[in-house]
Amino acid sequence: MCMFQSVMNYFPEEVLDHVFDFLTSHRDRNAVSLVCKSWYSVERFSREKVFIGNCYAVNPERLIDRFPRLRSLSLKGKPHFADFNLVPHDWGGRVYPWIEAMAKSRINLEELRLKRMVVSDESLELLAKSFPNFKSLVLVSCEGFTTDGLAAIASNCKFLRELDLQENEVDDRKGHWLSCFPESCTSLVSLNFACLKGEVNVAALERLVARCRNLRSLRLNHTVPLEVLQKILVQAPQLNDLGTGSFTHDPNSETYVKLKNAMKNCHSIRSLSGFLDVNGRCLPAVYPICTSLTALNLSYAPGLFSNELAKLIYHCKKIERLWILDTIGDKGLGVVANTCKELQELRVFPSDLYGVGNAAVTEEGLVAISAGCPKLNSILYFCQQMTNAALITVAKNCPNFIRFRLCTLNPVVPDAATNQPLDEGFGAIVQSCKGLTRLSVSGQLTDQVFLYIGMYAEQLEMLSIAFAGDSDKGMLYVLNGCKKLKKLEIRDSPFGNMALLSDMGKYETMRSLWMSSCQVTLGACKTLAEKMPRLNVEIISENEGGAGEGEARLDDRDRVEKMYLYRTLVGPRTDAPDFVWTL
């Protein structure tokens, strides 16, 4: 090769190893391993953290084979649209085979992070018993386990530092999983059980908090009452991150006064969430904490009025991340714009999904935020209406967006002022925000918006499309233009075979493509699968009779209801259920 490489080869492997230690990002490590065989070899023996964005792109055997020193694994399972009920239950994404394989190979697993995977109690039990140094379990949007599985983790993982359960569907057996942490367990740094439905033994909780002096992050569920929160805060004033359980009490009571005092003593809290049940009149207790907060999540707090929210936010001058409900209103967003000058990420969730919609937030709120918050770079905004003019202004005010997700409650609503499609507005966003990596569009949109996206969104990695576009051209603009595209998910849009088949090689440069209720036919999917053996092309049918029956019914000219394709090194998966047909 070149002289540089031969020079590098004079370094003993230990030196390369040491140099690689400084590379922490997965992308850097992946890049380094492509340089040459010897770098590949050194890198693979030194890699301890692995991230797998699609659990079906590889298999456990290949993972273990390549990275024998694996200590920390991060896996993602179901496609993103599973969050919205578009993927049938039992589609897949089970973690058990991974845990089983790592246990058999005596991998020294210390950390496991899973997203959208199916986690059984058996998996958790096996995990708890197989890895003596296990330290951290983070489960995000997973399902399939009960509190019995959690009990196994609590009982067996002697050095557990982190148990973080975010938004999982857990069958709460109302057992005493929390009491299963032995008295000898003092290592917990982070405990988040906010998503659990059942009661926990509060005495055990208090004792656990008291003996874990390194506890930094604690998020309670809604069954933990305010009285207990107060006692916990007295024991753990060192917390950085607090998720309150229930936050309702008589504000004239002694308990409330004690809580206020306990909170005044918590000088380290930087992140606050919870309020899963809240009395607005109790909120002033948190004002002293607000001044140092950098993250605030009130998106699960029911029934707070706009003025109560505004009063709270008025104290949050250092906030960088804010998640809130649209009950805050445009006016409340105005308060955010005036107060939160450090704001980087804002998420505004809808409070009233099924009702008439009280025009809770509109384009005005978004414009105000963009004008007032110069550091804004990430937004998720559910709104009643939007205009091109507003989006153009936002684009001018905030050229630094890396994530921009807009969801109009009516998926095809046009510009509220001009009745035109919202093409120009989103076009302005992609043109102005040169660093945009994630985009979700909504509202009435033609092929034009995709022309703009293909032309300008050079860094775009993930794009979500729903009820948009006029023809195959739309999808083609995106596939041809967005060189860095990794994930494309499309629903209810008129893109068909011509777009799907125009550049089949493109899909090997991407993680996955989802298309549902579009115009692609079975025949085209078959063609794609045949030409591209390193893709799995899955047809997901709703028919309970199974894909067998579905196969018999569907002819090549029929449209496919749901297609999910992804690149893979290991061929069709062996655990696909009946209703998933890998072509």
* Contact residues: another protein, CB under 8 A: 81, 83-86, 141, 167-169, 195, 277, 299-300, 302, 325, 349-354, 357, 382, 407, 409-414, 440, 444, 464, 466-467, 491-494, 517, 519, 541-544, 550, 553-554, 558-559, 561
How near is the Cβ of 512 to another protein at its closest, in Å?
17
In degrees, rounded to 5, the angle at the alpha carbon of residue 400 between the alpha carbons of residues 398 and 402 is 120
First to last CA, the chain: 41
Smaller CB separation from another protein, 46 or 464: 464
Smaller CB separation from another protein, 156 or 351: 351
Smaller CB separation from another protein, 268 or 543: 543
For the chain, counts of helices (H) and of strands (E)? 22, 25
CA distance 167 to 423: 34
| Backbone phi, psi, residue 541, to 5° | -105, 155
Smaller CB separation from another protein, 4 or 84: 84
How near is the Cβ of 350 to another protein at its closest, in Å?
6
How near is the Cβ of 133 to another protein at its closest, in Å?
31
How near is the Cβ of 124 to another protein at its closest, in Å?
19
Smaller CB separation from another protein, 364 or 551: 551
Name the 3-class secondary structure at 408.
strand
Smaller CB separation from another protein, 150 or 468: 468
How near is the Cβ of 230 to another protein at its closest, in Å?
23
How near is the Cβ of 165 to another protein at its closest, in Å?
11
Two tokens, residue 344? 């980087």
How near is the Cβ of 218 to another protein at its closest, in Å?
19
How near is the Cβ of 88 to another protein at its closest, in Å?
8
Alpha carbon distances (Å) from 504 to 35, 383, 537, 565, 566: 27, 36, 12, 11, 12
The sign of the dihedral angle between the CA atoms of 54, 57, 60, 62 is negative
Smaller CB separation from another protein, 372 or 414: 414
Name the 3-class secondary structure at 383.
strand
How near is the Cβ of 557 to another protein at its closest, in Å?
9
Smaller CB separation from another protein, 65 or 83: 83
Two tokens, residue 476? 């083609």
Smaller CB separation from another protein, 110 or 277: 277
Smaller CB separation from another protein, 46 or 385: 385
Q: Which residues contact 190 (CB under 8 A, 6 or more apart)?
A: 136, 161, 162, 163, 164, 215, 216, 217, 218, 241
Question: What torsion, rounded to 10 degrees, do the Cα atoms 336, 337, 340, 341 define?
Answer: 180
Residue 171: other Cβ atoms inside 10 A:
16
How near is the Cβ of 310 to another protein at its closest, in Å?
20
Question: Can you name the residues that pair with 540 across neighbouring β-strands?
Answer: 580
Query: Does residue 520 contact residue 492 with C-beta atoms inside 8 Å?
Result: no
Query: Does residue 401 contact residue 379 with C-beta atoms inside 8 Å?
Result: yes
Query: Does residue 179 contact residue 207 with C-beta atoms inside 8 Å?
Result: no
Name the 3-class secondary structure at 31.
helix
| Backbone phi, psi, residue 275, to 5° | 55, 45
How near is the Cβ of 298 to another protein at its closest, in Å?
11
Smaller CB separation from another protein, 70 or 445: 445
> Which stretches of 439-521 are DSSP H helices?
447-456, 472-481, 497-501
Tell me which residue has tokens 């992050």: 217
Two tokens, residue 528? 């794609």
